């Protein structure tokens, strides 16, 4: 495996000094996967509950069941994205838009 050889190469070098930049970037992605990913899934659950053409309980369940898959996808994207900045940007924007639309139609979202 290519990663194994690169890890070995690093292992033979003397201890590398503590570097802030990559660590902050990793922390930012971890938080993007968890916090921003959950926020997106939360917004998507609300939005699908608003728009799906089922009875109220069925809308909630279908939306929630799909949301876990969406969260997983966002978490993968958070580490595949070109920058930590993007890993945050799209889930937060998307989640806010989905949640915002749902909050704008509270009665329609709560229809039987």
Chain residues binding other proteins by CB under 8 A are 1-4, 7-8, 11-12, 22, 25-26, 29, 33-34, 41-46, 48-50, 54-65, 67-69, 71-72, 75-76, 79-80, 83-84, 99, 102, 106, 109-110
CA distance 46 to 101: 9
CA distance 10 to 16: 9
Q: How far is CA 88 from the centre of its chain?
A: 8
Contact call for residues 63 and 11 (beta carbons, < 8 A):
no
Shortest reach from residue 85's CB to other proteins, in Å: 11
CA distance 44 to 96: 9
Shortest reach from residue 91's CB to other proteins, in Å: 14
Shortest reach from residue 15's CB to other proteins, in Å: 9
Shortest reach from residue 57's CB to other proteins, in Å: 4
């Amino acid at each position: 495996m290519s990663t194994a050889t690169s890890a070995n190469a690093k292992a033979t070098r003397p201890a590398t000094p503590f570097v802030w930049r990559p660590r902050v970037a990793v922390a930012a992605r971890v938080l993007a996967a968890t916090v921003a990913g959950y926020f997106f899934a939360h917004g998507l659950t609300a939005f699908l509950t608003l728009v799906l053409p089922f009875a109220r309980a069925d809308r909630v369940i279908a939306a929630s069941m799909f949301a876990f898959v969406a969260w997983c996808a966002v978490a993968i994207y958070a580490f595949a994205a070109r920058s930590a900045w993007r890993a945050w940007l799209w889930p937060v924007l998307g989640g806010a838009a989905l949640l915002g639309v749902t909050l704008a139609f509270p009665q329609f979202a709560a229809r039987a």
